[in-house]
Amino acid sequence: MRLMVSGGGTGGHIYPALALIERLKQLEPATEILYVGTHRGLEDKIVPAAHIAFKTIQIQGFKRSLSLDNIKTVYLFLKSVRDAKKMIREFKPDVVLGTGGYVSGAVLYAATRLHIPTVIHEQNSVVGVTNKFLSRFVNEIGISFEAAREQFPASKVTMTGNPRAQQVAHSQRNFSWQEIGLVDEKPTMMIFGGSQGAPKINSSVVEAISTFNQRDYQVVFATGQKRYEQVKNQLGDRKIGTNIVIRPYISNMPDMLPKVAVIVGRAGATSIAEITALGIPSILIPSPYVTANHQVKNAQALVDQNAAEMITEDKLNGAALIKAADKLMQNDSLRLQMANAAKNMGIDDAADRLIGLLKRAQQDNK
């Protein structure tokens, strides 16, 4: 298969694509891949680091308010469609996959104009602007949440799940907490607010740290690379117990996750995929800074199945965090129930399902 992939801006669009590519290469080693992104998005570093052929086009999103900048946006979209058509003619893909972000809008629209089979994958419960636009033109649509189904043309939609889930579920490494100075005999809670960290989550942990010192469970806290020194300053001379590890960033997250008893963090699509694939009880703190408040809807899908607790950021502080943490970390049977509920929501063959959709799109187009 010759597959062109486009998705960018955030890790939530990129990591599912990389998981899909990894699985496709396992099944069909001769597969040729070309990833199209932008220089401004995270994909510019992440994709080449994965040794995947990478090209860029220039594009930007519309401003929500009236702005002369939107004239430039229209110009760049039309130019990017022309540039994408040139790349498509040169690469000659059998099928084109879009995983979201403005760049995928131009690439997949160009592919549909050239009558190339196209598939989009929506990771969130609330459909992004780009995928909503593309849904009128593409052959097939894969979703990760049932709530997204009604936002698309019904005849095109298939529940695939998020390919990241399959990648994480099949991680083989046998990690030990002793590698970071903890013990394997105690349940461990992991707290993180994404690669850059989340100020409100960080400040709440700082408030709670003295109480966490006294607990019989362990805490691994990732502050985010840019906020590590800030958190250290906030902690001041507070004692950090031997049951707590504070790091700027966790680079080997897939290794650690199978050992985590409870995870505390945002409700982005990638996090939800990992949580449900592995069956991890969670305390979700949705980011209030995302389009259409989709992280609240992502989290609510788990809460409705008794697979997670949710604390909205406006209600988050040290006391609220301790209360939620104690509820789960001090109740083995509740954690087991929530773990099973989360696992039942997961789709551990998501990458295979999406690959099947790519092949079906090729058949649809014949």
Domain locations in the chain as residue ranges: 2-169+348-364, 177-345
Within 8 A by CB and 6+ apart from 43, the residues are 7, 8, 9, 13, 14, 35, 37, 54, 103
d(Cα 319, Cα 205) in Å, to the nearest integer? 9
Q: Indicate the angle between helix axes 69-91 and 102-113, nearest 10 degrees.
A: 50
3-state secondary structure of 140: strand
d(Cα 180, Cα 162) in Å, to the nearest integer? 30
d(Cα 275, Cα 240) in Å, to the nearest integer? 28
Question: What pLDDT does 73 receive?
Answer: 65
> What is the homologous superfamily of the domain 2-169+348-364 according to CATH?
Glycogen Phosphorylase B; (3.40.50.2000)
Instruction: Tell me the whole-structure pTM to 2 decimals.
Output: 0.84
CA 14 to chain centre: 8
Please tell me whether 10 is known to bind a ligand. Answer: yes
Specify which residues 246 forms β-bridges with: 221
Q: In which element (H, E) is residue 4 found?
A: strand 2-6
Question: Do 2-169+348-364 and 177-345 have matching folds?
Answer: yes
Please tell me whether 279 is known to bind a ligand. Answer: no
Please tell me whether 251 is known to bind a ligand. Answer: no
Digitized pLDDT (tens) for each residue of the chain, 366 residues in all: 999 999 988 888 999 999 999 999 999 999 999 999 998 888 999 999 999 999 999 875 544 444 556 566 677 778 889 999 999 999 999 999 999 988 899 999 999 999 999 999 999 998 988 899 999 999 999 999 998 999 999 999 999 999 988 888 776 668 999 999 999 999 999 999 876 779 999 999 999 999 999 999 999 999 998 899 999 999 998 999 999 999 998 888 888 999 999 999 999 888 899 899 999 999 999 999 887 788 999 999 999 999 999 999 999 999 999 999 999 999 999 999 999 999 999 888 999 999 999 999 998 777
d(Cα 292, Cα 74) in Å, to the nearest integer? 23
Q: Which two tokens stand for residue 82?
A: 């022309």
Within 8 A by CB and 6+ apart from 347, the residues are 159, 160, 161, 162, 165, 166, 276, 277, 353
Closest of 50, 212, 210, 21 to residue 121, by C-alpha = 21
CA 111 to chain centre: 25
Please tell me whether 155 is known to bind a ligand. Answer: no
Please tell me whether 250 is known to bind a ligand. Answer: yes
**CA 212, 196, 259: angle at the middle one, nearest 5?**
50
Please tell me whether 124 is known to bind a ligand. Answer: yes
- Structural contact between residues 55 and 84, judged by C-beta atoms closer than 8 angstroms: no
Structure-token match 């593409």, residue found? 138
Question: What pLDDT does 270 receive?
Answer: 86
Q: Which two tokens stand for residue 220?
A: 């691994």
Question: What pLDDT does 172 receive?
Answer: 62
Reply yes or no on domain 177-345 having CATH 3.40.50.2000.
Answer: yes
| Terminal alpha carbon distance of the chain | 15
Please tell me whether 12 is known to bind a ligand. Answer: yes
Question: What pLDDT does 142 receive?
Answer: 97
d(Cα 159, Cα 153) in Å, to the nearest integer? 13
Question: What pLDDT does 341 receive?
Answer: 96
Question: What pLDDT does 241 receive?
Answer: 95
- Helix ranges (H only) for the chain are 11-27, 43-49, 69-91, 102-113, 129-134, 163-169, 199-213, 228-235, 253-256, 269-278, 294-303, 318-329, 332-345, 350-364
d(Cα 317, Cα 294) in Å, to the nearest integer? 22
Structure-token match 């879009």, residue found? 98
Question: What pLDDT does 63 receive?
Answer: 46
